[in-house]
Amino acid sequence: MQLNTFSILPVVFAIAAGALVPNSVSFAASHATKHATQKKPTPDAPAPTPLAGQTAVAGGTPAIAAKAWLLMDFDSGEVLASANPDEPLPPASLTKMMTSFLVEQALRSGKLKKDDLVSVSQTAWCRGSSTESCMYLPLNSQATVVDILRGIIIQSGNDASKAIAEHMAGSEEGFAKLMNAEAKRLGMTHTNFVNATGLPDPEHKASARDLAILARAIIRDSSDYYPIYAEREFKYNGIKQGNRNALLYTDPTVDGLKTGHTQEAGYCLVTSSKRNGMRLITVILNTNSAQARADQTRTLLGWGFGNFEKATPIQPNTVVTTAKVNFGKADTVAAALGSPWTVTVPRGQQVQTSVQVKPDLEAPVAKGAVIGKVVASSNGKPVGEAPLIAQADVERAGFMLRTWQRVAKLFGK
């Protein structure tokens, strides 16, 4: 099938403060503004009832018009605010975050190489209809893994997702098993993947909390490939398509991650933004329009950065405690943080710390060994923890000294 070359200019995505432009006059452009199984343009659905969430901030949260939403601190993984965070909901193309993550981890481990060629089967091929988003891989062609990865992330290509699934696991069904195994490893407890694309299926679900966990893993573990999530456009097969994440065009602090839309899932968006050294992740599920998902995300990010701040519970290179060591040539060892430590807390709240040292610590103790932890809390709620590291070696005492220490311990000396 012959397709005309087209270009979706980034300015389109910035119109109306980030709204996407529907009903493009270009046939191919209409593909680039749709996600899975949107057969024909439909009016925006009624907005969901605004949900006010749970948070430690006095005065509560903004009311977000979505079925579920969540705000997470990237560094700690702490959920700062949320509403309905654990209900499994249709994730639409947010599914492709797991598809791309598995590709990125295979690249990282060497199981895949960027220039490996991926074949496009009849099953994976997009037939050129307006029913799904496509990278427009030609039938029976081959594309490199890195191009496929861009097609998944930027163009939200169902064909790219299916092709890499078949390449890595032999079938999309087999790839879904890999997806669910990885979800379990990451602690995504309210998620079940049936396919690599997010096409509707009654058993295909994910929660807002789980999607934030996945986004955090991508940012943390896929640093070599995470910049792709901020790329605004990608051209393949003579067809240039723009990233559907409108915030990439209007907010320079936003650098990812993924949009999604089906009639069942509504309009969804997972976003990451970093301002003044603090990174926040937002999840918006089931809003009623592309404009709404961008607006609700802006509201949540603005509220998050306005109401939370970074705090340093303990300064670096500070001895936190002196731990007692049994049966060593020294009776104690200094314990300190292994690296700088910050936590995210509501603005103006004080941070308290408590120290937990391993009970009955025995020599030998190696310098750099983890011998306990420091727990930070704010307003009575834990907000983070950091390991305590031994600052010196403690050799095990000789037999006579250990015997004397045992006797002394027996008599409480």
Give the chain's mean pLDDT.
87
Go through the domains of the chain in sequence order and give each one's CATH number: 10-308 (3.40.710.10), 319-396+403-410 (2.60.410.10)
pLDDT of 31 strictly over 50: no
Nearest to 193 by CA among 176, 168, 208: 176
Q: What pLDDT score was predicted for residue 50?
A: 79
3-class DSSP state for residue 205? strand
Strand 68-73 with 278-287, pairing: antiparallel
Answer yes or no: are the C-beta atoms of 153 and 96 closer than 8 Å: yes
The pLDDT value given to residue 131: 74
Residues that are catalytic: 93, 96, 156
The pLDDT value given to residue 379: 84
Output the pLDDT for position 35.
Answer: 41
* DSSP category for residue 21: P
Residue 6 predicted with pLDDT over 50: no
Output the CA–CA distances (angstroms, integers) from residue 139 to 116, 119, 125, 375, 386, in the order listed: 18, 9, 6, 56, 52
Q: What are phi and psi of 281, to 5 degrees?
A: -115, 135
Mean of the pLDDT values across residues 273-294? 96
Q: Would you place residue 383 in the very low, low, confident or very high pLDDT band (cuts 50, 70, 90)? A: confident
Task: Give the per-residue pLDDT at 9.
Answer: 37
Give the model confidence (pLDDT) of 340-372 as tens digits. 899 999 998 899 999 999 988 988 999 999 999
